[in-house]
Structure 1
Amino acid sequence: MSYAALLYDRLTIDEAELMLTADRRGLLLKKLFTKEPSTLSSTDLAEVHVVVNRCESKSRALEAARRIANLNRIVINSYRVEELCSNKIKTIELLEKYGIKVPKGLFKPFPKNLHELEDWIICVVEEAEARLEYPIVFKPTHGSWGKGIIKIDCRERLIEVLRENSKPNEINPEGIFLQEYVEKPGFDLRIVAFKEKHGMGILCCIARVSRKPEEFRTNTHLGGLPVGVELKDYPEHVDEALKAAEIIMQEEKYGIIALDAMPQIENIDYNIVYKLTNECAKMYDEIRKFVDENKFRRYIEWKNEMELMFQKLKMHESYIALRNVISNLLENSKLRVHEANSRFDYAMNTRNATGINPAEKYVDLCFEALEES
């Protein structure tokens, strides 16, 4: 008998939700915790046919995908997808190559030594100013959760940021990445896409709404408000998202990723977005506080209460009004896909805001893969 397995290096509520869903649907899901995926052996994967790789560390996720494939098991997601999603430069370059609208960007390798630093800074500044206009966004090439992203408004600030980020580190191992600042209508989109035996599909979508114009980052880890979006109501956006997902998962039989996309709308006053968001913020912050206070308790013990809190938020008149405003804004927007995520969080925000549980799709993919064994 063949099994599926869940590989993880940190147990979050996303993995807990997947375990609960697998148990409810009768999927035998072996749990594999690791801090050293390179040591995984055929014994560890005895009778396992497919592995869901949910390692949070990008380096572990990459090594795990490589190791599992070498042991001749199906892995969701594959090494190729993990590598693409872990490197924003490769993602952007590949998407642009195949015609996806992406923000303009500039990547420059680090100077070889400190003696070249000043010349390197001048070179980067001149090239950035030739290609991009202020404000410019500094983005880690291997970052996540909105960490390390800086909005730069002038040459002096750009020089300062370059000087502070001129050496390799974990989130910028090879060089610096500067990107065009795209004026968003107070939110961006996170689109969950999948690939299965019968083709590609869009599972669900949320708008991640920032609370004020000064906070251009919309990541929910930074307080961005999640609002469910019916992407199917916008066929042009669905086509663009599917095309991007196909480019990233083109060689795979099974996969599931989250695309981040910025809607671009011209000559629109969207202050109403911030007004409505702030009217909802207190209720959402109560949910965030509740989740944080319970993170060391068993997820199953407080999951239902969290869901009820989200239901109350979604029934709030300001939240309903915000959802309608976002819907209207999307009708006149163009999407620019700017990132792809292989291991995305979903149990708190995406699942509750949309009413669609990505854990169900993980289980679907496992069942499909097991049918082949």
Structure 2
Amino acid sequence: MRIGLATDEITYDEILLYSASESLDVKMDFIDLKNLFMKSSENIYEKIVKEHDLVMMVNRAISKNLRERSTEVFERAGLKVLNPYMVEYISNDKFRTKEAFRKFNLETVRYILLPDFPFSRRREDGRLRFHREKAKAIAKTIAREIGFPAVIKPIGGSRGKSICLIEGENDFLEKCFRYYKLYVNDWSERKIPEALHQCVSNPIGVFAEEFIPHPLDLRVIVSMRRGESPQYIGCLGRVGRKEEEIAKNTALGSIPIGIDLPEEYRRIAVDCVKAIVNYAKSFGYLVDYCLVGVDIIPRCDSFLERRRVYEAARKISPFKDKYIEQVKTQLNKAIRKLASKHGRNLDAYTKDKDFKDVDNSLIEVFRKYREMEEYKNLVKASEEYLNVSKPEPNEVNTRVDYGINTRNAACIDIPYHIVHVMSSISEHI
């Protein structure tokens, strides 16, 4: 019996996961989702399951839609998948996640989903057009229901992309008009944030949340197996350098740190996973296990407290921006080189000397980073901030990025945890 590793793109995370399976002597087969398809005459997914003698699958597809749909098909083929379909279905939609929190009586930011957009497509050529009156109505509803400032996000977005901070009704109208003026210059839809028009990541309407100024957010790793309480694994803090940075995401330049999380925050993270599991249960779906990242915003209205964290973050920034980013660039180049050299052969990736050298360089630069006084001061300032703030659960991420920051800043070895969980479950199938 084998465990499958399915993805549409090999990243550093998948290489580490495959390496962990080798170290633990667990057979793991790579399944290339780009070469699989669904058709009426044949179920390719069932064929793959039988050919590889699979009992479980770790689905690491980067595309949320592909991950959700392929998980559904794999489960119909008889596989146990990490994460299960209903966990993906609930967590991949920000509104659905918030509804799960609300049903479980978890206090979160005020939010609203309006089934309309300030931009729509023209039938004649498919280009976007701006509706000023719709924009006015949307702004008035946001003002009435949650107030300003507010954040507008694509309901299925990720990595802090396409987020708009809106200060008031007039600000919303001015931003929409400014985006439209940029758009008509070359008709590039990238000029208009996905949060403001209908698209794959935002199919229903404008999703707005109350904006909470915060110097950092928390990615809390939690796992669960049916019959057991969810387990707190660890926490990665993502710290901004100034108040104007709305999304605290390492992909956008935030600073990664390991955090000793207060008990209240751990409890909230665990409750968030219980909320997702119970929400799935309300649809008649029993979740056997999951491993997710719960994103929590620490809320504190004192700018003085927030400023202390920003000041500490700016002192460590030069090292992070120069040395860590330099090694990350080398790592990405090495992975692209491996892809052209070895294709989809993960076994060759893990044995490649050039990859091992870059991997060791990354480990070493993070070791120096964690030993710096500036880093320790940032961790101290962040933990002191948590002690005077209130946890606000925000989102749940089912495809946790763990290779670079979570592994090296927070020192959480998620690949080994995944393999242990999957192998222990497969023994009882």
- Give the TM-score band, short-chain normalised: over 0.9
Residues 1:150 and 2:150 are matched in the alignment: no
Deviates more, 1:195-204 or 1:305-314: 195-204
Maintained 8 Å contact 2:223/2:233: yes
Maintained 8 Å contact 1:218/1:224: yes
CA shift, 1:116, in A, is 10
Counterparts of 1:32 and 1:166, CA distance in 2 = 36
Deviates more, 1:4-13 or 1:195-204: 195-204
Maintained 8 Å contact 2:140/2:169: no
Give me the identity figure in percent.
24
Alignment-mate amino acid for residue 159 of structure 2: W
Pair 1:90–1:253, CA change in 2 (3 A)? same
CA shift, 1:169, in A, is 1.1
Q: 1:345 aligns with which of 398, 401, 411?
A: 401
Alignment-mate amino acid for residue 399 of structure 2: R
Alignment-mate amino acid for residue 289 of structure 1: Q
Question: Residues 138-158 of structure 1: CA distance to partner in whole angstroms, max 9, x if unpaired?
Answer: 111111111001111232221
Structure 2 match to 1:133: 147
Deviates more, 1:341-350 or 1:164-173: 164-173
Give me the CA root mean square deviation. 1.9
Structure 1, gaps ≥5 residues long: none
5 Å-filtered alignment, 1:167-316, equals: 167-184=197-214, 186-197=215-226, 198-231=228-261, 234-250=262-278, 251-267=286-302, 269=304, 270-285=306-321, 286-298=323-335, 299-316=355-372
Alignment-mate amino acid for residue 94 of structure 1: A
Counterparts of 2:130 and 2:217, CA distance in 1 = 38
Pair 1:93–1:37, CA change in 2 (3 A)? farther
Maintained 8 Å contact 1:6/1:29: yes
Pair 1:268–1:215, CA change in 2 (3 A)? closer
CA shift, 1:183, in A, is 1.9
Residues 1:90 and 2:99 are matched in the alignment: no
Counterparts of 1:289 and 1:156, CA distance in 2 = 42
Question: Residues 318-353 of structure 1: CA distance to partner in whole angstroms, max 9, x if unpaired?
Answer: 110111111111122211111111112111001111
Counterparts of 1:321 and 1:57, CA distance in 2 = 37
CA shift, 1:134, in A, is 2.1
Question: Residues 14-70 of structure 1: CA distance to partner in whole angstroms, max 9, x if unpaired?
Answer: 111101111111111111111265444223122100000000001110111111001
Q: What secondary structure is seen at the aligned counterpart in 1 of 2:200?
A: coil
Alignment-mate amino acid for residue 334 of structure 2: R
Structure 2 match to 1:356: 412
Pair 1:176–1:221, CA change in 2 (3 A)? same
Alignment-mate amino acid for residue 106 of structure 1: I
Q: 2:110 aligns with which of 104, 109, 127?
A: 104
Structure 2 match to 1:41: 45
Number of equivalenced pairs? 369
Counterparts of 1:29 and 1:123, CA distance in 2 = 53
Counterparts of 2:290 and 2:156, CA distance in 1 = 20
CA shift, 1:132, in A, is 2.4
Question: Residues 94-117 of structure 1: CA distance to partner in whole angstroms, max 9, x if unpaired?
Answer: 111211111111111126887994
Residues 1:317 and 2:373 are matched in the alignment: yes
User: What is the TM-score with the length of structure 1 in the denominator?
Assistant: 0.94
Alignment-mate amino acid for residue 248 of structure 1: I
CA shift, 1:268, in A, is 5.2
Q: What secondary structure is seen at the aligned counterpart in 2 of 1:356?
A: coil
CA shift, 1:166, in A, is 4.8
Pair 1:90–1:60, CA change in 2 (3 A)? same
Pair 1:355–1:362, CA change in 2 (3 A)? same
Q: What secondary structure is seen at the aligned counterpart in 2 of 1:19?
A: helix
Structure 2 match to 1:31: 30
Deviates more, 1:39-48 or 1:87-96: 39-48
Pair 1:301–1:8, CA change in 2 (3 A)? farther
Counterparts of 2:35 and 2:395, CA distance in 1 = 27
Alignment-mate amino acid for residue 246 of structure 1: K
Counterparts of 2:121 and 2:242, CA distance in 1 = 40
Alignment-mate amino acid for residue 49 of structure 2: L
Counterparts of 1:101 and 1:33, CA distance in 2 = 40
Question: Residues 261-295 of structure 1: CA distance to partner in whole angstroms, max 9, x if unpaired?
Answer: 10012335132212221111122122122212331
User: What is the TM-score with the length of structure 2 in the denominator?
Assistant: 0.82
Alignment-mate amino acid for residue 240 of structure 1: I
Deviates more, 1:33-42 or 1:304-313: 33-42
Residues 1:68 and 2:98 are matched in the alignment: no
Maintained 8 Å contact 1:220/1:226: yes
Higher Cα radius of gyration: 2
Q: What secondary structure is seen at the aligned counterpart in 2 of 1:49?
A: strand
Maintained 8 Å contact 2:222/2:273: yes
